[in-house]
Structure 1
């Protein structure tokens, strides 16, 4: 029996995507070759990466001055690569401290430039997104962590600023439509809403790339290098790109980003309603900033928490244990999670009878 996987990542994907990926790993399109052994420069793979890029363009309705890149290194590498490409030696960027991944972003950017931390939610244990701050005049861009997976908070409205946004969208990429013109760089690593671990999709608004800079960017980290080489400057992780293509096809076939957003809202409302109703559980994030993708909650006592985890495991629900710094539970409900799994989790909460 297949388990119901609420893991924050690597996360569950639709069964049909796993099956298509498994088939291609053995024999890609009856070619007698595995997808994993086809050269990244072969015509067969060129078709794969071009279709994947075209689908990202279509789903997000990207203008022609945006480029779609497929890069290794994960989202963590982009925390350094983005400021490296956008900032001169004496430039600064701004960020709002929303949690774990914002702190990682601050640390990475401080190795390269001045960082203005506009506000922090640390005093309330990152249960909300700070909204009362002033943007300094010298900031070249504002970095946002679109969705903090660990604390379960999400930007439902992006800050209105007159400088580009650079967004780590790892956990809500391809989950809702976007006004992309507000962004300079968007990056997201798999495996949450698309692909499998090993690939990062980076959307580059070429209008924000400086025409000249006093910073010497190493060739391998220069966005222009990968734009000029169609993401094939060096060997791209081919199988993860192929699985990303399968997920992109699935998202389009299922109704696109509007449908993904509709499903995310439905799944999260179902679970949050039970969290708020059930006296044994309580939510962690303030309601207006709750993530529709990572619902973080806790039991009213450590003993009940242990019992409920065991109850879930017994009923084939896995991956809901919260991050150590937050504790409690975290139910991740990305694109590949069907609502039936959420319904099962809610039923387990309703029927749970702890031994007190």
Structure 2
């Protein structure tokens, strides 16, 4: 029997995606080979990379003014690769510090150029997204972490700015439609909402990339290299891209991003309603900025934290332990998380409160 997997990533994958991926790992489309054995330049692999890119564009409604590429190194690599490609010496990255991943982005960008931290909620343990700030005139772009996986905040409306947004969407990619005209670049590693570890989807607006001031960039880290080579400049993580493609097909078949948004809102409402109702639990984040993906909460009797984790595990609920720097609990509810699993967690919270 499958567990109710609330892990923050690697995370729950639809069973039908897993079944098809398993078959492809044994033999891909009657080729007599596993997909993991095939050349990354084989026609079959080139076709699936092209389909995966087309599906990302189709689901979001991106036009021909955007490129989609597949890279390695995860979102952490993109924290450096993005400013390496986009930031010149005369300008700065503007950013609001909203949590763990914004903090990492600040550090990575400072190694390559100027950074303007416009506001921060660190003093209140990242319990909200600061709203009062202004973008300085020297900003080249605004780096935004659309969803803080560890701290549990999420931008529910993207700001109106005079500069493009560069967004780390790793934990809420493909979960809702977006106002695409605001974005110059989006990146997301696959292990949350659309696959397994090993590949990162990068969406780039062509005119934003073309406006960059040339700097010396190693060929392997230059976005244009991967655009020119259709993500096959070097040996691509073919199996990871294949699983991403299967997850993209699943997302489309389920009804696309509007349906994902509806489902995710329902799951989050169910859990947050219980957190607010149950005297044994309390949320970490102000209600206006709570993440629909990662609900972070504490127990009001800290001595019962381990007992609740054990109680949950005994009932096949796993992955709810909070990040070490935050503590408490974190329930990650990505696209593939069924509502029934969230209902079970809520039922366990109620039962545990009655017992204690």
Scaled to the shorter chain, the TM-score interval is over 0.9
1:30: how far off? 2.0
Q: Secondary structure at the match of 2:21?
A: helix
Give the distance between the partners of 2:21 and 2:284, measured in 1 at CA. 37
Whether the 8 Å CA contact 1:93–1:143 is kept in 2: the answer is yes
Stretches (4+) displaced over 6 A: none
Q: Look up the match of 1:341.
A: 341
Give the distance between the partners of 2:355 and 2:305, measured in 1 at CA. 11
Whether the 8 Å CA contact 2:87–2:212 is kept in 1: the answer is no
Give the distance between the partners of 2:177 and 2:219, measured in 1 at CA. 32
1:75: how far off? 0.6
Normalising by structure 2, report the TM-score.
0.98
Q: Look up the match of 2:114.
A: 114
Give the distance between the partners of 1:254 and 1:331, measured in 2 at CA. 23
Q: Deviations over 1:30-80 (max 9, x none)?
A: 221101011110001111111101101100110101000000110111111
Q: Secondary structure at the match of 1:58?
A: helix
Q: Secondary structure at the match of 2:29?
A: helix
Q: Look up the match of 2:163.
A: 163
Q: Look up the match of 2:235.
A: 235
Give the distance between the partners of 1:297 and 1:212, measured in 2 at CA. 42
Q: Look up the match of 1:219.
A: 219
1:302: how far off? 1.6
Give the distance between the partners of 2:291 and 2:34, measured in 1 at CA. 38
Query: How many pairs does the alignment contain?
Result: 356
Q: Secondary structure at the match of 2:345?
A: helix
Give the distance between the partners of 1:231 and 1:201, measured in 2 at CA. 10
Q: Secondary structure at the match of 1:30?
A: coil
Q: Look up the match of 1:201.
A: 201
Give the distance between the partners of 2:348 and 2:163, measured in 1 at CA. 46
Give the distance between the partners of 2:122 and 2:212, measured in 1 at CA. 37
Normalising by structure 1, report the TM-score.
0.98
Whether the 8 Å CA contact 2:282–2:297 is kept in 1: the answer is yes
Q: Look up the match of 2:72.
A: 72
Q: CA RMSD in A?
A: 1.1
Greater shift in the superposed pair: 252-261 or 84-93: 84-93
1:97: how far off? 0.3
| 2:182 maps to 1:182 | yes
Whether the 8 Å CA contact 2:90–2:138 is kept in 1: the answer is no
1:212: how far off? 6.0
1:1-356 matched pairs, under 5 angstroms: 1-211=1-211, 213-353=213-353
Structure 1 stretches lacking a partner, 5+ long: none
